Structure 1
Amino acid sequence: MRRERATRLLEDLITRLEQGGWPLGLVDEVYVFGSYVRGALEPNDVDVVVEHGTDKRWLGESLYASINGRDAYVGMRQALRGPYTGHLLSVPWPGHPAGRGLRVVPALAQG
């Protein structure tokens, strides 16, 4: 994809996060990393790390998914992607990603 499209994807993501709603209202911070941050003119996707809190609904749905052998982050990834498919890669990663040696750029910090 062209860089302009990747930028639009990030802008749309930030807009959806600012609008809130569940589960996006749980998101505290978003970091961008990978080829987009390195300045690629045609990144394959947009890599983001999302740090989020939990609520009773999140805990209930996560428990249900885990008990049934499902990925507890599917709902969050779908909400982050919005109407787009296959271009936004979110990584459920606890802790600050910069501490993991990644070059990351903060895209959004709530609060």
Structure 2
Amino acid sequence: MRLHVYVKGKPVAQLYRHQDNYALRYSTDASPEDCVSLAMPVREEPWVWPRDLHPFFRQNLPEGFLLQVIREEFGPLLDGTDLSLLAVIGGAGIGRVTVAPEGG
């Protein structure tokens, strides 16, 4: 599964799993102002985080009761990874960064 990452409505990167890692790769036309986070500036090589979603994206995942409700409602769409959970809720975030499934 790949997710499109948008900054202020502009597609700037793709977020995906590569083996056991998560990777964020900026598009070739992304400018320095399109950075997802100050800790992850625009660059050619992907930002890779071992075995877990990048902390910037993890902070937006639901917890507790809300997580339970989402798992009950969207269970068949989730594959057990944080990436699939982010695909479900990533477009409803507050701020300049949103996430949407590829083709969605």
TM over 0.5: no
Larger Rg: 1
Q: TM-score normalised to the size of structure 2?
A: 0.32
The structure in which a higher percent of residues are strand is 2
The structure in which a higher percent of residues are helix is 1
Q: TM-score normalised to the size of structure 1?
A: 0.30
